[in-house]
Amino acid sequence: MVLRDVSLAVEVGRLVAVLGGRGAGKTTLIRVASGTLPADEGDVFVDGQPMAEITDTRLSDVLAIKVGLAGRDGPDAKLDVASYVEMRLAATRNYSNRQRRQHVTRTLREYDLAGTERLMWGELSDWQRVAVELVQAVIVKPRLLLVDDILDGLPRSCKDTALEWLESFAGDLGCAVLMAVSDHTTASRGSQVYQLTNGHLRLMHTDPDIISIDPEVRGQQAG
């Protein structure tokens, strides 16, 4: 799906929802915002820095530290849960091997994933997969968290738990959180809600305490 004239800013501490059906362009939007899919035109900013100006040798480091992505694909088939999450930490180069393992174990336990460390992706329940995706995305405390429609199909109670986590990531960790979703109920938890239809983005709702949205900001901006 091609995005057309999309302009979107996500502030630190905000949970922003993009609502759209299958084929609307949600995954394309998330991939462009994450830097994994170059935009044909316009700019993508993270922390005020345009991604287009970052050299290829630095881009992977910037994305590893500043951008967390929770998607549907999961890890390589050869990786268990602990290795998958630890790989995310390793990209920051801030931990020794022992520190990474300890941090991963503590974090998995914190999110009720104790006992999954040596499980493979195919051995996890749908809810556990969502939880693992969110954990690996935020374990480095990124500035921008992108969630690619991973809540679709979950029971209501699991969705509520995941949304509480996302709100906490925004409020407590100071992330800018952008979630692509497929249903209005989930989208309504966002402080801003956009409708994405055939590649076009339209603002549907914004909390009254958000003073303004800059229409000139193209792409995705955190901070």
- Picking from 216, 214, 217, 191, the residue whose alpha carbon sits closest to that of residue 204 is 191
Structural domain contains residue 191: yes
Q: What is the pTM of this model?
A: 0.87
Q: At residue 134, does pLDDT exceed 70?
A: yes
- pLDDT tens digits for range 37-74: 877 777 787 777 777 777 666 777 777 788 999 998 88
Residue 213 falls within a domain, yes or no?
no
pLDDT at residue 115, rounded to an integer: 95
CATH number, position 56: 3.40.50.300
The answer to whether residue 115 is domain-embedded is no
The pLDDT confidence band at residue 5, using thresholds 50, 70 and 90, is confident
Indicate the average pLDDT of the chain. 86
Residue 147 lies in a domain: yes
Residues above pLDDT 70, as percent of the chain = 91
Three-state DSSP at 197 gives strand
Residue 157 located in a structural domain = yes
| pLDDT, tens only, 182-223 | 999 999 999 999 999 988 899 998 886 654 433 333 333 343
Which residues form the domain of 156?
15-75+141-206
Helix (H) or strand (E) holding 56: helix 56-66
For residue 174, being part of any structural domain is answered with: yes
> What DSSP string describes 89-109?
HHTTT-S-HHHHHHHHHHHHH
Counted domains in the chain: 1
Over residues 79-118, the pLDDT tens digits come to: 999 999 998 888 777 788 899 999 999 999 999 999 999 9
- Whether residue 152 is contained in a domain is answered as yes
C-alpha to C-alpha distance for 143 and 39, rounded to whole angstroms: 21
What does the alpha-carbon distance between residue 121 and residue 123 come to, in Å, rounded to a whole number? 5
Task: Report yes or no on 169 lying in a domain.
Answer: yes
100 dihedral zone (left: phi>0; alpha: psi -120 to 50; beta): alpha
Separation of alpha carbons 166 and 88, rounded Å:
19
